[in-house]
Every structure is written in structure tokens, then in C-alpha cells.
């Protein structure tokens, strides 16, 4: 039975990996086509602008030619037959040229609208591909280890329930990261590529303007690099690995306060010690989730984070001074409080202690702690 199950899992993994490669291929091909169409659209807009100018110019010429023909017809006795034929042919040629330019303008506008619609549809395709890729990655992660690696003895039903919650949490996190990359660095890089194309053409036309454009592009690149570093820090805080929980939280709070406009007072009690990497990361994510809840729901402009180190335990307390809520609603309406329930479950996975105190108008206090055995943290 076990061999059969392993074979099924292996075949499932192979099928998922193949599907993942296909999704990636479709996504990259779509991105390439988006870039090509964006470049075409940029050139098309330049051509359309010039064509509109040409149409206006030709319209004036055609009107002058018609006016000249009318004058010749009124005073046909004062003009030779050759002059009359020439005026007629000139008016006809101007009219034909105007019609051709107007048709060209219509074609350019139609093509522009088609490309804009295509780019919108392709953007939606990319978004769906990214969401699907996130789900595939989570399925692979779960199959490769996931729940089976949990050290706490659980029943099959409990494992399934926790697995569903893990998948939901991972999916939401990957969607968030994909959204940040798509809306931030990816959009900026696409803009930089297009502007570089324009700057390349400007070099031969207006060197001063090209230099100004390059200077602005340097600023965009630096800003984009900061966004990428921020996303990397959110994925895996480097300070957490190098310096530990306290240093990582100090760095995180700087960004959090600037982004969320919530001042967080950090208090450290006891001698800060390094913890096992898995526990440090779990603590970091738990604190991060709690502070995000403060920013989203509490309507408080200040909060306090307390980290207390003991000889055989560590305790975390997050206090806000916001609107508070009825704690019983968490259990009466669990679907509306998935964040807090997820925090409690993650604490339970490490055999920790969790408490939540709140009431309407009196703020909220979330507290969790972990004990150790023989002086070594779990």
C-alpha cells in the first residue's frame, strides 16, 4: 500500500512539474509579446501623432486648393484652359491625399485600440498564470514534505485541516509577492525598457534631452532596486539570519512605521539570545502578522512590542490602543478572523502558549510564548 501511494505521489509530482513548466513557458511567451506590443504601441502613438499633424496640414492645403478652383471657375474668362485644368488637378490631388491620410489615421487609431485591448487581456493572462503558478508551487511544497514533517502527533483529520490552512496561507502570501512584483519592479522595468528605446532615438536628435532622460532613468533604476530589496527582505529577512530576532525586528519596524504610519515602541527584557532558525522565523512572522492586523484593523496610530527573554522561555506581547473588538466573535465567526486564528495555530504548532485580550474601545493585546527543555529552545 505504501509503495503504491509513493508511486502515485511520484507520478503526481511529475505531472505537476510538467504543468508548471508549461505555465512558465506560457507566462514568459506572454511577457515577450507584451514587450513587443508595448514597443509597437509606443511607435504607433508617435506615428499617429505625426499623422494627425499631417492631416491638419493637408486639410488646409486641400481647402486652399478648393478655394483656388472656385475662384478660377468664377472668373473662367480671366484664366486660360491650362490654368483651369491645373487648378482642378491640384484640388483633386489634394483631396485624394487628404483622404489617404485620413484613412491612415483611422487605421492607426484602430490598430492602437486593438493593441491596447490585447495588452489588457495579456496582463490578465499573466495575472492568472501567476496565481496558478503559486497554487502549483504550494502543491509541490506540500507533496514534498509539508504536513508529514510536523513533529506534533496529529490525527489524519487534523493534518488535513491544518494542511488546508497552510495552503491558504501560502497561496495568499505568494499572491501578495506576485502582486508586489507585478505592480512594482515589473512595471517599472517595462517602463525603463520603453524609455530606453525612446532615449536611443533621442541621442541623434536632442542630446541634452537624452541626457536628462538617462538621469531620470538612473533614479528609476535605484528606486526599483530598493523595491526589489524590500520584497527580498519580506520573503526572508537577511538580518534575521545574520543578527537574530531583535535586530531583524528593529529593521522591520523602520519600514513598517514609514509604510503604515503607526509608531511601534520596542521593549526588550532579559538577555537576547539566538534561537533556532525555524523558531526565529516563526516568531518574526507571528509578530509581522500581528502588526499587520494593528495597521489594518485597530485604527491605532501607536502600538507596543515587548520581547522578553528568559533562561528557558521567550515571550512576545503586542499591544495596540485602537478600537478593539469582542473576542467571542473570533470563535463565533472564524471565517472573518482567519488572521488571528492562523496566529494561534502557528503558535500551537510549536507547542506555545497563546492569549488574546480585547474589548470594544479598549485596544487589543496579543501574547504568545514558548518554553524550552534543558535550556534549549524548542
Q: Quote the Cα angle for 31-216-212, to 5°.
A: 125
Confidence band for 273, pLDDT divided at 50, 70 and 90: confident
pLDDT of residue 3: 59
Cell, residue 299? 485604527
Task: Compute the CA torsion angle 280, 282, 285, 289 (nearest 10 deg).
Answer: -130
Cell, residue 369? 510564548
What is the CATH number assigned to the segment(s) 1-144?
A: 1.10.287.620
* Confidence check: pLDDT of 335 > 60: no
pLDDT of residue 210: 82
Confidence band for 151, pLDDT divided at 50, 70 and 90: very low
pLDDT of residue 258: 84
- C-alpha span between 157 and 340 (Å, rounded): 21
pLDDT digits (tens, 9 = 90+) for 307-334: 999 888 899 999 999 998 888 776 555 4
Residue 144 · residue 10 · CB < 8 Å: no
Mean per-residue pLDDT for 194-216? 82
Q: β-pairing, 263-269 with 302-309?
A: parallel
336 against 289, higher pLDDT: 289
- C-alpha span between 28 and 355 (Å, rounded): 47
pLDDT digits (tens, 9 = 90+) for 71-124: 878 877 777 888 888 888 888 898 899 899 998 899 999 988 888 888 888 888
Cell 513557458, residue located: 25
Q: Give SS3 for 270.
A: coil
Q: So what CATH class is 238-377?
A: alpha beta
pLDDT digits (tens, 9 = 90+) for 209-247: 888 888 888 888 877 777 776 666 566 665 677 778 898
Confidence band for 337, pLDDT divided at 50, 70 and 90: low
Residue 337: how many CB atoms within 10 A of its CB? 20
pLDDT of residue 146: 42
List the one residue out of 95, 126, 164 whose CA is nearest residue 25. 126
Amino acid at each position: 500500500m505504501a509503495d503504491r501511494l509513493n508511486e502515485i505521489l511520484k507520478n503526481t509530482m511529475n505531472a505537476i512539474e510538467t504543468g508548471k513548466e508549461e505555465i512558465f513557458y506560457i507566462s514568459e511567451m506572454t511577457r515577450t509579446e507584451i514587450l513587443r506590443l508595448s514597443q509597437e504601441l509606443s511607435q504607433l502613438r508617435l506615428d499617429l501623432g505625426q499623422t494627425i499633424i499631417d492631416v491638419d496640414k493637408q486639410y488646409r492645403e486641400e481647402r486652399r486648393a478648393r478655394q483656388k478652383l472656385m475662384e478660377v471657375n468664377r472668373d473662367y474668362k480671366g484664366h486660360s484652359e491650362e490654368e483651369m485644368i491645373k487648378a482642378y488637378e491640384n484640388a483633386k490631388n489634394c483631396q485624394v491625399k487628404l483622404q489617404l491620410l485620413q484613412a491612415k489615421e483611422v487605421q492607426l487609431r484602430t490598430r492602437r485600440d486593438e493593441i491596447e485591448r490585447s495588452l489588457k487581456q495579456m496582463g490578465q493572462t499573466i495575472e492568472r498564470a501567476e496565481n496558478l503558478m503559486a497554487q502549483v508551487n504550494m502543491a509541490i511544497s506540500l507533496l514534498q514534505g509539508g504536513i508529514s514533517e510536523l513533529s506534533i502527533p496529529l490525527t489524519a483529520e487534523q493534518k488535513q485541516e491544518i494542511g488546508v490552512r497552510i495552503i491558504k496561507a501560502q497561496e495568499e502570501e505568494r499572491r501578495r509577492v506576485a502582486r508586489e512584483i507585478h505592480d512594482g519592479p515589473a512595471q517599472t522595468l517595462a517602463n525603463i525598457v520603453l524609455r530606453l528605446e525612446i532615449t536611443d532615438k533621442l541621442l541623434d536628435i536632442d542630446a541634452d534631452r537624452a541626457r536628462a532622460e538617462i538621469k531620470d532613468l538612473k533614479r528609476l533604476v535605484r528606486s526599483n532596486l530598493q523595491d526589489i530589496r524590500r520584497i527580498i527582505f519580506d520573503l526572508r529577512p537577511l538580518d534575521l539570519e545574520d543578527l537574530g530576532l531583535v535586530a531583524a525586528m528593529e529593521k522591520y519596524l523602520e519600514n513598517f512605521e514609514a509604510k503604515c504610519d503607526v509608531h511601534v515602541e520596542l521593549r526588550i527584557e532579559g538577555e537576547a539570545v539566538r534561537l533556532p532558525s525555524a523558531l526565529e522565523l516563526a516568531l518574526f512572522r507571528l509578530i509581522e502578522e500581528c502588526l499587520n492586523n494593528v495597521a489594518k484593523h485597530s485604527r491605532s496610530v501607536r502600538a507596543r512590542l515587548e520581547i522578553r527573554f528568559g533562561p528557558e522561555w521567550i515571550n512576545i506581547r503586542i499591544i495596540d490602543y485602537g478600537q478593539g473588538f469582542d473576542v467571542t466573535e473570533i470563535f463565533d465567526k472564524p471565517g472573518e478572523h482567519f488572521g488571528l486564528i492562523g496566529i494561534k495555530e502557528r503558535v500551537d504548532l510549536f507547542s506555545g502558549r497563546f492569549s488574546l485580550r480585547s474589548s470594544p474601545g479598549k485596544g487589543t493585546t496579543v501574547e504568545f510564548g514558548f518554553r524550552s527543555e534543558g535550556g534549549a529552545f524548542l
